[in-house]
Amino acid sequence: MLFLPDAVKPNIYEGFDPLLVSGEVVDTHFTRLIDIVLDFDENTRTDAEFIEEMKGALKYFLGEWIDELQDGFQNGMSDVVIFLRENILNIIKESTGPEMGMMIGMLGTDTVMNMITKSYSSYREKKE
């Protein structure tokens, strides 16, 4: 589902594969995210507790993903932003169809990127 945008291809360090790294990070965190959903018991925990636990797990996932990607790009975070933005736009376009894809993609991409940026900032603060 992910692809390498042309704008970042020349900026990848030799031997680094952002798609492979992305897959490894997703594999590592996917199980935890699914476990949080499956282990939720509405009789013993509130929806707010579930949301906070999911937010924490997603922040950790995004933070590790971005950190791993930064190491492989010559321009670090600048290239990661392009990589993520282009992939998010593509996912939105593919899921909404050609008629609405571009309009929804332009609006939705900014929203998702803002969330990712905030999550990464929170991840970095907790890590330090």
Closest-CA residue to 72 (of 121, 28, 22): 22
Residues 20-29 pLDDT 10s: 999 999 999 9
Report the distance separating Cα 40 and Cα 46, nearest Å: 9
Q: Residue 78's pLDDT is what?
A: 93
Distances (CA, A) of 105 to 6, 35, 96: 19, 30, 9
The percentage of residues in the chain with a pLDDT greater than 90, rounded to a whole number, is 72
CA–CA separation, 22 vs 25, rounded Å?
A: 5
C-beta atoms surrounding 13 within 10 Å: 9
Mean pLDDT, rounded, for 12-31:
95
Q: Which two tokens stand for residue 84?
A: 């993520």
Output the CA–CA distances (angstroms, integers) from residue 7 to 52, 84, 85, 103, in the order listed: 36, 12, 11, 22
Q: What is the pTM of this model?
A: 0.85
**What pLDDT was estimated at residue 127?**
86
Question: Which sequence spans correspond to the domains of the chain?
Answer: 16-127
Tell me what pLDDT residue 123 has. Answer: 93
Average pLDDT, the chain: 91
> Using one digit for the tens of pLDDT, what is the confidence trace for 83-101?
999 998 888 888 887 777 7
